[in-house]
């Protein structure tokens, strides 16, 4: 959160946990898994925690990559992809995540803010990154017969998690407004990600 009197700060906090973090018997790893479980359960306190922790941007990156990997494995199991698509999938996931956070920041804080809205891009990157925690279950999309149904249910779960992430990061009281920002941001970021991928795809 940032006071309105202070210029907007991107607040990325890209550092990964250092050696001092692991001196406490792996407590940071436990915190990481607990945060993933909490955000997957749509626990608003978990979203508030990652929003406030500037060191959690690296963790959020890990969640995005793990979810992308799980989705790739699920797609391979369904015959919809191959091992060569994993790298492109990871790049697409990262581009989509960053562009969605940035477009959501613009829409949520400049175009559709509520009076109490205070946020920066880093806060949105962290909450939106952890909101992809349910995406790890896409690995089960390869299950014969029920794979497509599993993927559909997980996609709905992901969208709900994104709405919660945006509502908490932007301090919205209105869930309806968070849904609107989520959908508009998703469309814009998807278009941007596709255009950028045209330049990086082999």
Summarised one tens digit per residue, pLDDT across range 65-85 is 999 888 877 776 555 555 556
CA 77 from chain centre, in angstroms, equals 24
CA dist 130 and 128 (Å) reads: 6
CA 30 from chain centre, in angstroms, equals 19
CB 184 within 8 A of CB 105: no
- Give the pair of three-digit tokens for residue 91: 């790049």
Report pLDDT digits (tens) over 87-116. Answer: 776 777 788 888 888 999 999 999 999 999
The total number of residues shown for the chain amounts to 202
pLDDT at site 69:
86
CA 8 from chain centre, in angstroms, equals 21
pTM: 0.79
The 3-state DSSP class for residue 76 equals: helix
């Amino acid at each position: 959160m940032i006071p309105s009197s202070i210029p907007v700060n991107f607040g990325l906090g890209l550092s990964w946990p250092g050696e001092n973090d692991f001196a406490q018997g792996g407590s940071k790893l436990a915190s990481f898994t607990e945060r993933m479980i909490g955000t997957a359960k749509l626990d608003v306190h978990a979203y508030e925690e990652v929003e406030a922790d500037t060191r959690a941007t690296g963790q959020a990156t890990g969640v995005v990559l793990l979810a992308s990997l799980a989705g790739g494995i699920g797609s391979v199991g369904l015959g919809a992809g191959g091992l060569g698509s994993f790298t492109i999938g990871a790049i697409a996931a990262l581009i989509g995540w960053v562009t969605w956070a940035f477009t959501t920041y613009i829409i949520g804080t400049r175009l559709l803010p509520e009076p109490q809205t205070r946020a920066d891009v880093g806060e949105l990157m962290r909450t939106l990154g952890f909101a992809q925690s349910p995406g790890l279950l896409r690995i089960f999309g390869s299950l014969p017969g029920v794979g497509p149904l599993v993927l559909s249910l997980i996609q709905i779960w992901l969208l709900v998690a994104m709405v919660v992430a945006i509502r908490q990061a932007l301090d919205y009281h209105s869930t309806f407004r968070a849904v609107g920002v989520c959908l508009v941001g998703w469309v814009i970021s998807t278009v941007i990600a596709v255009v950028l991928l045209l330049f990086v795809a082999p």
